[in-house]
């Protein structure tokens, strides 16, 4: 089959959906791979690297006109116009974007959004959310280190001792846990919070202190258990107690990293404007939910998407695509995720064979035969 890998055109998107490593495997299976010229340059993969493993270099129309198209982000109208009806599209297509789902269905393509894969053991190798969140958690700490005007570790020098930075991490999913591990390697003193009781052991195993917000009712404890690996929205009473405790810890923190995001919902407010106003001058907030909260903010209402702003003497960083700032490794992991998903829809004869009884395939299938199959509330 003909597999196309176009250049990503969305702002600040530097990743590519296939690497020489994965293209070599596609070619070995008998597929023809067409990579748009320059598609991998931003992720340190020149055209020559793709040609060396058997790919052909072509135009955007060549790549988008293939039977199977591998993308990082959802196609825009101009890209959709260049795709064939009945083509198969794989990518991070935002399954909760009803307009995009409808546009893809209208074109007649079969679209798979990998973010919708179930959180099961069998689906781990193609879990794009985890692979990219891992990178975002790492990069969040690197960005914080760059923006923070003091050292991260404790240093003893001839001119005296410098205290270690205090880092507060809110949300201990994949991104939060990687942020804890990265900040720990840099010598910071770390506290972390999460609604899920299971997170306590994970946080402490990485050397951070767990900020415990006790549950007062069985209902709170049940909701906190979450569903499908994600937290659920907590009752207002618990959120108030958490806000008070977070405010207390944030006042003492030098760096706050917020990572709370539930797919398909607005990002919850974890760090209020009032709390930011009471933080130490020179503190840094990295908001991984930037652009996903109310009015385009994030876990903090003062965050501005894709901007670094200073408010109340605190620097708020709102980059919305941290994974793209580590383009080479982000692309490598994402390309492997796609390769593993392809194994589910390509048979041993290298022909397209979309199963109807595979829970991963059906969960990721957004549209087919002109019909939107994804049902959002």
Structural domain that includes position 355: 2-116+327-371
Provide the number of structural domains found in the chain. 2
Q: Are 324 and 17 in contact (CB under 8 A)?
A: no
Q: Is residue 121 part of a domain?
A: no
pLDDT (tens place) for every residue of the chain, 377 residues total: 999 999 999 999 999 999 999 999 999 999 999 999 999 999 999 999 999 999 999 999 999 999 999 999 999 999 999 999 999 999 999 999 999 999 999 999 999 999 999 989 999 999 999 999 999 999 999 999 999 999 999 999 999 999 999 999 999 999 999 999 999 999 999 999 998 888 999 999 999 999 988 888 888 888 877 666 666 777 888 888 888 999 999 999 999 999 998 888 899 899 999 999 999 999 999 999 999 998 889 999 999 999 999 999 999 999 999 999 999 999 999 999 999 999 999 999 999 999 999 999 999 999 999 999 998 87
Residues 61 and 178 in one domain: no
List the CATH number of the domain containing 108.
3.40.50.720
Active site residues: 119, 124, 127, 130, 230
- Neighbouring CB atoms inside 10 A of 77's CB total 8
**Predicted TM-score of the model (pTM):** 0.93
Clarify whether residues 196 and 161 are in a common domain: yes
Query: 128 lies in a domain?
Result: no
Q: Are residues 358 and 280 in the same domain?
A: no
Work out the end-to-end distance of the chain between its first and last CA atoms, rounded to an integer number of angstroms: 36
């Amino acid at each position: 089959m003909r597999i196309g890998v176009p250049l990503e055109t969305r702002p600040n998107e530097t990743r590519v959906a296939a690497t020489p490593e994965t293209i070599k495997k596609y070619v070995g299976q008998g597929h023809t791979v067409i990579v748009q010229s320059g598609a991998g340059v931003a992720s340190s993969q020149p055209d020559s690297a793709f040609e060396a493993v058997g790919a052909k270099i072509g135009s955007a129309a060549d790549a988008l006109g293939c039977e199977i198209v591998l993308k990082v982000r959802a196609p825009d109208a101009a890209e959709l116009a260049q795709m064939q009806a009945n083509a198969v599209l794989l990518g991070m297509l935002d399954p909760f974007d009803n307009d995009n789902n409808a546009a893809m269905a209208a074109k007649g393509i079969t679209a798979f959004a990998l973010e919708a894969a179930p959180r099961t053991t069998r689906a781990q190798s193609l879990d794009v959310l985890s692979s990219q969140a891992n990178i975002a958690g790492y990069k969040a700490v690197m960005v914080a280190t760059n923006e923070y005007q003091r050292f991260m570790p404790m240093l003893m020098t001839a001119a005296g001792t410098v205290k270690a930075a205090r880092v507060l991490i809110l949300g201990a999913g994949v991104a939060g846990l990687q942020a804890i591990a990265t900040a720990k390697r840099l010598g910071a003193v770390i506290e972390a919070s999460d609604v899920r009781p299971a997170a306590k052991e994970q946080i402490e195993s990485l050397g951070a202190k767990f900020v415990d917000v006790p549950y007062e009712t069985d209902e709170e404890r049940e909701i906190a258990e979450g569903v499908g690996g994600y937290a659920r929205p907590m009752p207002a009473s618990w959120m108030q107690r958490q806000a008070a405790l977070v405010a207390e810890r944030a006042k003492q923190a030098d760096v706050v990293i917020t990572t709370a995001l539930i797919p398909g919902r607005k990002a919850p407010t974890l760090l209020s404007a009032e709390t930011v106003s009471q933080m130490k001058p020179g503190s840094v907030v990295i908001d991984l939910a930037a652009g996903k909260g109310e009015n385009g903010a994030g876990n903090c209402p003062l965050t501005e998407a894709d901007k670094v702003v200073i408010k109340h003497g605190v620097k708020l960083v709102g980059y919305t695509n941290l994974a793209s700032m580590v383009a080479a490794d982000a692309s490598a992991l994402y390309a492997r995720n796609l390769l593993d998903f392809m194994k589910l829809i390509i048979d041993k004869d290298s022909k397209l064979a979309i199963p109807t009884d595979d829970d991963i395939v059906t969960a990721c299938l957004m549209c087919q035969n002109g019909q939107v199959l994804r049902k959002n509330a």
